[in-house]
């Protein structure tokens, strides 16, 4: 990968790589059998080098064409999980007016539901995600939801003794932090995860993650 390429040149290269990987994936075969067009997407904000990366697990949608152009990021404020997490994300310095961060998903392949993805879908897509990370060289990566950490661990990218768990006060729910490649990755519970409200579990976990991210 040539790091001297412009963001638009890199986006075009990664999009081409994604198409090739997608055509080999189990999820591509599933959509053919169901006569669907799930396709793929690389990111939903402009690629910005040395800016943090916010990411989920994969893109939703049931009949969507492949991504073809660098996104503007203007629609991200309408995402439900962003609305639910915005007060915490702004404490990390994220600005939703000028979009000073990157947003993507661990798996670039679309499916109506994440449970339609198989191990080989992630095997094919994680190298694309890694290429994206290496080009951007972010100060941090933040996973919305803990499932991505389990996937990284399953593929050997995270080691047990290097994963730090950040619990709520009742030690029932948790976020994570760990070294990933040459960077730091963090996770918080998904906004739709049912956490005990009375214990302020979500606020406690976010507080610990924000503290650690702001003190890298």
Interval 103-138: pLDDT, tens: 999 999 999 999 999 999 999 999 999 999 999 999
Residue 1, in any domain of the structure: no
What is the band of 197 on the pLDDT scale with cuts at 50, 70, 90? low
What is the band of 199 on the pLDDT scale with cuts at 50, 70, 90? low
Res. 209: pLDDT tops 60: yes
State percent of the chain over pLDDT 90: 87
Res. 201: pLDDT tops 90: no
Residue 113, in any domain of the structure: yes
Res. 198: pLDDT tops 70: no
Res. 2: pLDDT tops 80: no
Range name among 57-61, 131-135, 171-175 with the lowest pLDDT average: 171-175
Q: Phi/psi of residue 196, each to 5°?
A: -65, 115
Q: How many domains does the chain have?
A: 1
Residue 92, in any domain of the structure: yes
Res. 175: pLDDT tops 70: yes
What's the pLDDT score for residue 191? 82
Res. 194: pLDDT tops 80: no
Q: At CA 149, angle to CA 143 and CA 152, rounded to 5?
A: 120
The C-alpha atoms of residue 182 and residue 37 are separated, in whole angstroms, by 35
Residue 153, in any domain of the structure: yes
What is the band of 33 on the pLDDT scale with cuts at 50, 70, 90? very high
Residue 2, in any domain of the structure: no
Residue pointed to by tokens 């702004």 = 90
Mean pLDDT across the chain, nearest whole number?
94
Residue 32, in any domain of the structure: yes
Residue pointed to by tokens 């990370």 = 133
For 48, the domain range is: 7-214
Residue 53, in any domain of the structure: yes
Does residue 46 contact residue 7 with C-beta atoms inside 8 Å? yes
Nearest to 204 by CA among 56, 88, 54, 80: 88
The pair of three-digit structure tokens given for residue 75, joined into one six-digit string: 């629609």
Residue pointed to by tokens 């997608």 = 22
Residue 14 sits in a domain of what CATH number? 3.40.470.10
Model-level pTM? 0.95
Residue 11, in any domain of the structure: yes
Torsion of CA 106, 112, 115, 120, to 10 degrees: -60
């Amino acid at each position: 990968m040539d790091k001297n390429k412009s963001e638009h040149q890199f986006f075009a290269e990664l999009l081409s790589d994604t198409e090739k990987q997608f055509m080999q994936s189990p999820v591509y075969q599933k959509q053919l059998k169901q006569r669907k067009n799930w396709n793929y997407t690389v990111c939903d904000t402009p690629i910005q080098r040395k800016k943090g990366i916010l990411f989920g697990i994969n893109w939703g949608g049931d009949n969507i064409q492949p991504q073809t152009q660098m996104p503007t990021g203007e629609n991200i404020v309408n995402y439900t999980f962003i609305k639910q997490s915005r007060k915490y994300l702004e404490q990390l310095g994220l600005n939703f007016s000028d979009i000073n961060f990157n947003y993507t998903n661990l798996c670039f392949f679309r499916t109506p539901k994440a449970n339609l993805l198989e191990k080989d879908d992630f095997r094919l897509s994680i190298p694309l995600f890694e290429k994206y990370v290496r080009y951007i060289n972010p100060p941090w990566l933040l996973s919305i939801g803990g499932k991505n950490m389990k996937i990284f661990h399953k593929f050997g990218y995270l080691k047990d003794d290097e994963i730090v768990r950040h619990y709520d006060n009742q030690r029932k729910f948790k976020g994570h932090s760990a070294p990933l490649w040459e960077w730091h990755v963090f996770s918080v519970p998904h906004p739709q995860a049912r956490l005990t409200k009375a214990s302020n579990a979500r606020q406690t976990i976010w507080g610990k993650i924000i503290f650690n991210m702001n003190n890298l």
